[in-house]
């Protein structure tokens, strides 16, 4: 019985890792009337900048990421 519980716990950890892998946390900020979306994780920000050739994202980028299966956590920052 303990081995079954151990396997369940391990699977739970794998599921959490997979869930976190596909989570992108972004911060939305209004700067001089322009809406800028910054990726919070430095590694993810570098990889997305390499793909988009931009340091910030827009809603089209977020929509495309969601269509690819990513979960977007969008935080609104004060201006």
Residue 44 has φ and ψ, to the nearest 5°, of -60, -40
- 78 in any annotated domain: yes
Residue 35: alpha-carbon gap to chain centroid: 18
pLDDT of residue 71: 93
Tokens of 63: 């929509």
For residue 38, being part of any structural domain is answered with yes
Tell me what pLDDT residue 2 has.
58
Tell me if 70 is assigned to some domain: yes
H-helix or E-strand spanning residue 34: strand 34-39
Residue 8 inside a domain? The answer is no
Model pLDDT, residue 77: 85
Query: For position 19, what pLDDT does the model report?
Result: 55
Q: Is residue 14 part of a domain?
A: no
Q: Which range of residues forms the domain containing residue 64?
A: 24-79
Count up the domains in the chain and report the number. Answer: 1
Q: What is the pLDDT of residue 78?
A: 82
10-residue mean pLDDT profile of the chain (79 residues): values are: 57 52 91 93 95 95 94 88
Structure tokens at 69: 């299966």
């Amino acid at each position: 019985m303990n081995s079954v519980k151990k396997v369940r716990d391990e699977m739970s950890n794998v599921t959490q890792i997979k869930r976190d892998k596909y989570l992108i946390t972004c911060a939305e900020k209004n700067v001089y009337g322009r809406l800028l979306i910054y990726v919070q994780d430095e590694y993810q920000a570098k990889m997305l900048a390499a793909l988009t050739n931009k340091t910030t994202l827009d809603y089209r980028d977020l929509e495309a990421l969601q269509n690819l299966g990513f979960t977007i956590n969008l935080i609104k920052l004060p201006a």
